[in-house]
Amino acid sequence: MQALNAWLLGHDHGLLLQGPDPDSPEPVMHGVVIDQQPAPKTLLCRWDPVTVWIQPPPDEGTGVREPRRPLPPVRSNRGYFEDDS
C-alpha cells in the first residue's frame, strides 16, 4: 500500500502513523509500506501510534523536465512594443 494511502486510512480509523524515527524531518508520505509494528489486527486505542517502514520510490529521474530537447521555439513580443508613429 502506498504510504500516503496508509496514513490517510490510519487517520480515518483514529491511528497515528509514524516512521521508525518519529523525530525525522521526512514525513511518512512517499513510498510503499513494507512492514508495521504492532502487527495487523492488533487491538489499539484511539490515536495510538503505528510505526511503519517504507520502501522509498525508485529514483529514476521521473519528474525531471528540463532541459527539454528539442528546444521550444522562441516567441518574441517585440511587435507588441513597437511604436507605429
In a domain, 24, yes or no: yes
| Tens digit of each residue's pLDDT (9 = 90 or more) over 22-78 | 788 777 888 899 999 999 999 999 999 999 999 887 766 555 566 667 776 777 665
Residue 16: strand, helix, or coil: strand
Domain contains 51: yes
How many structural domains comprise the chain?
A: 1
Sheet holding 49-55, edge to edge: 16-18, 49-55, 32-37
- pTM assigned to the model: 0.63
CATH number at residue 44: 3.30.10
Going from the C-alpha of 67 to that of each of 61, 63, 64, 70, 74, the distances in angstroms are 13, 12, 8, 9, 15
Asked if the structure places residue 15 within a domain, the reply is: yes
Identify whether 25 is part of a domain. Answer: yes
Cell numbers for 1, please give them.
500500500
Instruction: Answer whether residue 52 is part of any domain.
Output: yes
Instruction: Provide the domain limits for residue 53.
Output: 3-57
